[in-house]
């Protein structure tokens, strides 16, 4: 379980995340929604310890991680798929995947087969440079790399943004399966409400760095969407 209590995140002296309380239970799928610039990416960066300063408590399975540097939060079980994917373009697919294993508490000596069962294209392209993959293939690589860190909770920042529709569906299905079959906890930052509704058990809407609404996904009404999400 991931628990945030009274969390504030700062860029220099500017507070971009304000008094956030959020809980993601084991096996839960939380979608974080909100207009541009409300602090969704900042929330994920704060959980990972990538902000210049962060106050409050962030506990993973009861242990305080807000005192840890980012690489130790990864080893504690926080996986991350950043906006823009963060693939190393000159590294091969195999090398990008191997980097993911280094973030695990007990690094695997080879890439396990279940990764290629989820994303068969990566097996085919193991020797290809990351920069030569399509956007959708890079996103699959970014998710696979994060899974190799053996996360207890996976944070994803707009994984379907700018990707061709047939691959979007594949990525959505993999994430839903990882959550429902493998019981992986997920926090998804998403503009795609249809996907958020299909995949999530809960949602949180951010507004100006604070949680405006947090509820069961069934309570995500058209009124709430108009109030907080439609530009
Ligand atoms: N590196 C930074 N330095 C200073 N301020 C920043 C930085 N990155 C983001 N901000 C500010 O923090 C606030 C929250 O930004 P954030 O990127 O978290 O929003 P977001 O909800 O993820 O937006 P989007 O949907 O556009 O990705 C914004 O006011 C933004 O201008």
Which numbered atom of ligand 1 lies nearest the CA of 38? 21
Residue 176 in contact with residue 217, Cβ under 8 Å? no
Which residue puts its alpha carbon closest to atom 5 of ligand 1?
A: 11
Q: Write out pLDDT tens, residues 125-166.
A: 999 999 999 999 999 999 999 999 999 999 999 999 989 888
Ligand 1 first shell, C-beta below 6 A = 11, 14, 16, 34, 36-42
Which residue puts its alpha carbon closest to atom 18 of ligand 1?
A: 39
CA of 213 to the centre of ligand 1 (A): 19
pLDDT attached to residue 108: 81
Instruction: Determine phi and psi for 155, rounding to 5 degrees.
Output: -105, 125
Q: What does the mean pLDDT of the chain come to?
A: 95
Instruction: Determine phi and psi for 114, rounding to 5 degrees.
Output: -60, -25
pLDDT attached to residue 166: 87
CA of 112 to the centre of ligand 1 (A): 36
Rounded to two decimals, the pTM is: 0.95
- In CATH, 2-86+155-228 is 3.40.50.300: yes
CA of 209 to the centre of ligand 1 (A): 9
Could you please report the per-residue DSSP string of 72-132? HHHHHTEEEE-TT----TTSBHHHHHHHHHHTSSS--SS--HHHHHH-HHHHHTTTSBGGG
Task: List the chain domain ranges.
Answer: 2-86+155-228
Which numbered atom of ligand 1 lies nearest the CA of 209? 14
pLDDT attached to residue 55: 95
Q: Where residue 231 falls among pLDDT bands split at 50, 70, 90?
A: confident
CA of 129 to the centre of ligand 1 (A): 30
Give buried/exposed letters for 88-100 (b at 16+ CB in 10 A, else e). Answer: eeeebbbebbbbb
What is the ipTM metric for this complex? 0.95
- Nearest Cα neighbor of 83 from 135, 30, 161 is 161
Q: Write out pLDDT tens, residues 114-133.
A: 999 999 999 999 999 999 99
pLDDT attached to residue 32: 98
Taking the alpha carbons of 94, 98, 100, 105 in that order, is the dihedral positive or negative?
positive
pLDDT attached to residue 105: 85
């Amino acid at each position: 379980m991931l628990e945030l209590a009274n969390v504030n995140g700062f860029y220099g002296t500017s507070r971009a995340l304000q008094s956030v309380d959020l809980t993601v239970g084991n096996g839960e799928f939380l979608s974080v929604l909100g207009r541009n610039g409300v602090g969704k990416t900042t929330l994920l960066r704060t959980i990972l310890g990538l902000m210049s300063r962060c106050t409050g408590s962030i506990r993973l399975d009861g242990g305080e991680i807000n005192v840890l540097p980012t690489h130790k939060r990864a080893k504690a079980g926080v996986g991350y798929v950043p906006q823009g994917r963060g693939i190393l373009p000159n590294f091969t697919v195999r090398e990008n995947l191997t980097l993911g294993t280094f973030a695990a508490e007990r690094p695997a000596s080879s890439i396990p087969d279940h990764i290629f069962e989820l994303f068969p294209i990566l097996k085919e392209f193991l020797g290809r440079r990351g920069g030569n993959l399509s956007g959708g293939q890079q996103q699959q690589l970014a998710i696979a790399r994060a899974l190799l860190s053996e996360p207890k909770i996976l944070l994803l920042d707009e994984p379907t943004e700018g990707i061709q529709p047939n691959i979007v569906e594949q990525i959505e299905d993999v994430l839903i399966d990882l959550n429902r079959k493998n019981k992986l906890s997920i926090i998804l930052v998403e503009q795609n409400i249809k996907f958020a509704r299909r995949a999530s058990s809960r949602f949180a809407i951010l507004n100006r760095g604070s949680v405006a609404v947090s509820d069961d996904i069934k309570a995500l009404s058209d009124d709430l969407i108009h109030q907080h999400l439609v530009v």
